[in-house]
Amino acid sequence: MQPSFETSTFQDANVLITGGVGFIGSNLAERLVELGANITLVDSLIPEYGGNMQNICGIAERVTVNIADVRDEYSMNYLVQGQDYLFNLAGQTSHLDSMRDPYTDLEINCRAQLSILEACRKHNPSIKVVFASTRQIYGKPEYLPVDELHRRSPVDVNGINKMAGEWYHILYNNVYGIRACALRLTNTYGPRMRVKDARQTFLGIWIKQLIDGQAIQVWGDGRQLRDFTYVDDCVEALLLAAASPSADGQIFNLGSAEIISLRDLAALMVEMYGQGRFEIIPYPADRKPIDIGDYYGDYGLIRDRLGWQPQIMLREGLARSLAYYADPDHQKAYW
């Protein structure tokens, strides 16, 4: 079991989750339901951004859903009131979309984050905020594994805006006393992730390709190294960060002790599924300039400070994910 917080921490606590009907938000909500929290999920349900009501079908009667956009500051001014915790997960995650439409990415990942923090400052300064950041802010690694001291040099608009959103949270912690911290997520995967395209993670579209009998498309030479975080481990990290006063004002990497090349990952998925194939293809022209090469993170800081380390190994996480999406009912909801 994960070293954890007191299970009573979230009992009867008021919890707001932005992006709450999305992949990570819905998994977090399910865990918080188990812990006895009063949960409000905020989601715009804009099709491109991952919200899917199927994600909360098992807990729909035990949460409150508010269909609102985090860009609407008036809605956020109201929604933060009376909340004990805010898990700020809403965002535009597609790197390619950020290059094609940089202004929308700016509005969601940067300006909206500032508006949310202003709402907290004005209407609920005692709230605890956990922000979902990304390893994308590091850009192309200068050394591996990447720790939190690594130079930040984003290769796309998404990384720049997420970096600004992250630092707004730390600034408001340091200047205004809004207790906030950030987790730099990397390749989070598992049930309820978006699989219809690669807007959230390439692993999603790989699973769809495999189940649909199509070749998994591995871009480049397939030797790029990656690490992955199963969604249950990500959820535990979010909860630990929320429950731990020592997390206030801090930034933590998530990561994994298992490092794998994309080529080997595709081969492993084919092996586990029992059929299928993969192909190595050149990078699309619009993807190559924003590729980061090898990446895997050093999660020693969150391990040492909060006691977090991944519990679900890659093979087990992939098995759970493949089983989830092999279900025809889930295919109807996610394809």
- β-bridge mates for residue 188, sequence order: 229
The pair of three-digit structure tokens given for residue 240, joined into one six-digit string = 């630990």
**DSSP line for 42-98:** EE---GGGT--GGGGTTTGGGSEEEE--TT-HHHHHHHTTT-SEEEE------HHHH
pLDDT tens digits for range 28-37: 999 999 999 9
Cα separation, 5 vs 293, in Å, equals: 36
Q: Where are the domains of the chain?
A: 8-189+228-257+297-312
Cα separation, 271 vs 213, in Å, equals: 14
- β-bridge mates for residue 230, sequence order: 189
Q: What are phi and psi of 128, to 5 degrees?
A: -105, 130
pLDDT by 10s per residue, the chain, length 335? 454 678 899 999 999 999 999 999 999 999 999 999 999 999 999 877 779 999 999 999 999 999 999 999 999 999 999 999 999 999 887 888 899 999 999 999 999 999 999 999 999 999 999 999 999 999 999 999 999 999 999 999 999 999 999 999 999 999 999 999 999 999 999 999 999 987 778 999 999 999 999 999 999 999 999 999 999 999 999 999 999 999 999 999 999 999 999 999 999 999 999 999 999 999 888 777 778 899 999 999 999 999 999 999 999 999 999 999 999 999 999 99
Question: Helices 262-273 and 314-326, interaxial angle, to 10°?
Answer: 50
The fold of 8-189+228-257+297-312 is Rossmann fold (3.40.50)
Angstrom CA distances, 335 to 90, 209, 216, 321, stand at: 22, 10, 16, 14
Q: What is the pLDDT, as a whole number, of residue 1? A: 45
User: Residue 182 in contact with residue 131, Cβ under 8 Å?
Assistant: yes
